[in-house]
A = this chain, B = another copy of it.
Amino acid sequence: MRTVDRNAPATTTEDDALSRRSRILAAAADIFAQQGFDGTSLGTVANAANVKKSLVQYHFKSKENLWQESIHWVWKQRDHALPKYLLKLPSADSNDNSQMVRDLCRQILTFTFDQPQWVKLMFQEASKPGPRLDWMVDTFFKKDFSDGKAMIEVAQQQGLLPHVNAMDLLHILSGALIYLVNVAPISERVLGEKPNSTQYIDRHINTLMHLLQNAR
């Protein structure tokens, strides 16, 4: 009987077990981030990954476990895309560090507009505290918070940020950046302007930097 015929589109890309597994992970991360835990069905994930529903359950034992592994995958992507500035502000090379905060903000914004899963997953669970939020706090957020605070403090010591409470400043900065991503679908519909465009991001960051640099 048929020797080849496996799938319709004649997968030119390799379709081994490993690629299937990560395809499921990527699809699950997307759908979990968009539809939430309850709004996501394993069948939908399987379809999006172009695999059978049973295979999802074979590679990941339960929906809960798939969710956890998806988030690990998302955070790995994020940490791989945003490591450059983290805690590595040059101590006193003193060429032009003034642009560093601006560059970091822009990089965070553009990446998050492109891969908003981590933010969506974060606030989904924050809005309904439970075991899943506790797990995320222990696994990711404690480290994220301390890294962020350390970055703020380094920047402050270099005179790049006003000397106010570091944790407050972290929240204000995070808020100003992340809110922009979260509210983007609304802004787009209200203002009729694409908030993830380069101009929009640059203008917003300019305004933000203006507020920060004129304050002491």
Using a CB–CB distance below 8 Å, which chain A residues touch chain B? 33-39, 120, 122-124, 126-129, 133-134, 137, 141-142, 145, 162, 164-165, 167-169, 171-172, 174-180, 182-187, 189-191, 203-204, 207-208, 210-212, 214-216
Say which residue of B123, B176, B211 sits within 8 Å of A182 (CB atoms).
B123
Question: Could you tell me the distance between the alpha carbons of A191 and B35 in the complex, rounded to whole angstroms?
Answer: 29
How distant is the Cα of A145 from the Cα of B204 in the complex, in angstroms?
Answer: 16
Q: Contact check, A142 vs B35: say whether CB atoms are below 8 A apart.
A: no
Residues of A contacting B: mostly: helix
- B126 x A185 contact (CB < 8 A): yes
Given contacts A178-B175, A214-B215, contact A34 B127 (CB under 8 A): yes
A59 to B37, CA, bound (A): 29
Question: Can you offer 9 A-B residue contacts whose CB atoms are under 8 A?
Answer: A36-B124, A36-B127, A120-B127, A123-B123, A126-B182, A145-B190, A162-B211, A169-B207, A172-B176
Closest to A213 in B: B215
In the bound complex, CA of A39 to CA of B189 (Å): 26
CB distance from A65 to the nearest CB of B (A): 19
Known: A36-B127, A175-B183, A211-B212. 10 other contacts (CB 8 A): A39-B39, A123-B123, A123-B183, A133-B185, A145-B190, A165-B203, A167-B191, A168-B203, A172-B208, A176-B176
The one of B34, B122, B214 in contact with A128, judged by C-beta atoms closer than 8 angstroms, is: B34
Looking at the assembled complex, report how far the CB atom of A169 sits from the nearest CB atom of chain B, in whole angstroms.
7
Q: List residues of chain B with CB within 8 A of the CB of A183.
A: 123, 126, 171, 174-175
Task: Choose among B134, B214, B215 the residue that contacts A189 (Cβ–Cβ < 8 A).
Answer: B134
Whether B185 pairs with A36 at a CB distance below 8 angstroms is: no
CB distance from A72 to the nearest CB of B (A): 18
Contact indicator A141/B177 (Cβ below 8 Å): no
A-B pairs with lowest CB-CB distance, top 10: A175-B179, A38-B39, A214-B215, A168-B207, A175-B175, A38-B38, A175-B176, A137-B189, A211-B215, A172-B176
**Which residues of the other chain, B, contact A210 by a CB distance below 8 angstroms?**
162, 164, 215
